[in-house]
Amino acid sequence: MSLRLGDTAPNFKAVTSKGEIDFYEFLGDSWGVLFSHPADFTPVCTTELGRTAQLQGEFDKRNVKVLAVSVDPVDKHLGWIGDINETQNTTVEFPLIADDNRIVSGLYDMIHPNASATATVRSVFVIGPDKKIKLTLTYPASTGRNFLEILRVIDSMQLTAKHSVATPADWNQGEDVIISTAIKTEDALKKFPKGVKEIKPYLRYTAQPESN
């Protein structure tokens, strides 16, 4: 059964390129990004894992732990990581799950028979510290994932989890945000000291609140 936003992310134990893990213990109180790959030694995924490794510091700043999954075994993962580090000029530090028994793939509905009966599709799950699924994305095999977009969405979710705001289309860190319609304008003026810009009664902007 497909996982939906707000569902509890299934826990699992798995063998990875960094040893055995319990998923919940691995995440602790961090956010998590779990993303799948059809197979090792595939070109698009090589660039994706390399890009994720290059952005490791950005994920760390946001208290996000990254975990990749492929149906290949650990020995192939280790060989592939060597290729990724060489070709993408980086160092992969996050674990790659060896899901050769398809347990994780099954829990997260990563195998779509119309795409492949045996390989995982290229899914992304963002999981909050409460272990709830906050975002799901599934990409076609020919299109590399945009990890700056994933970071942007995490920025939005972390911000809006703390404040009564939402983020508009194409929002980026530091830009104005939208005030929740649940807040009356007179209350918004007190809550947001940086000011309220009313376009319509239901569309009001304010400067981005402080993250902390």
Is 45 an active-site residue?
yes
Catalytic option among 9, 14, 33, 45: 45
Q: Counting beta carbons within 10 angstroms of the beta carbon of residue 195, is it exposed (0 to 12), middle (13 to 18) or buried (19 or more)?
A: exposed
- Output the DSSP codes for 58-70: HHHHTTEEEEEEE
User: What are phi and psi for residue 126, nearest 5 degrees?
Assistant: -105, 130
- Strands 177-179, 203-206: pairing kind: antiparallel
Q: Edge to edge, what strands does the sheet with 122-127 contain?
A: 19-22, 13-16, 96-98, 64-70, 31-37, 122-127, 133-139
Beta strands in the chain (DSSP E): 13-16, 19-22, 31-37, 64-70, 96-98, 122-127, 133-139, 165-166, 177-179, 197-200, 203-206
Which DSSP letter does residue 208 get?
Answer: P
Catalytic residue list: 45
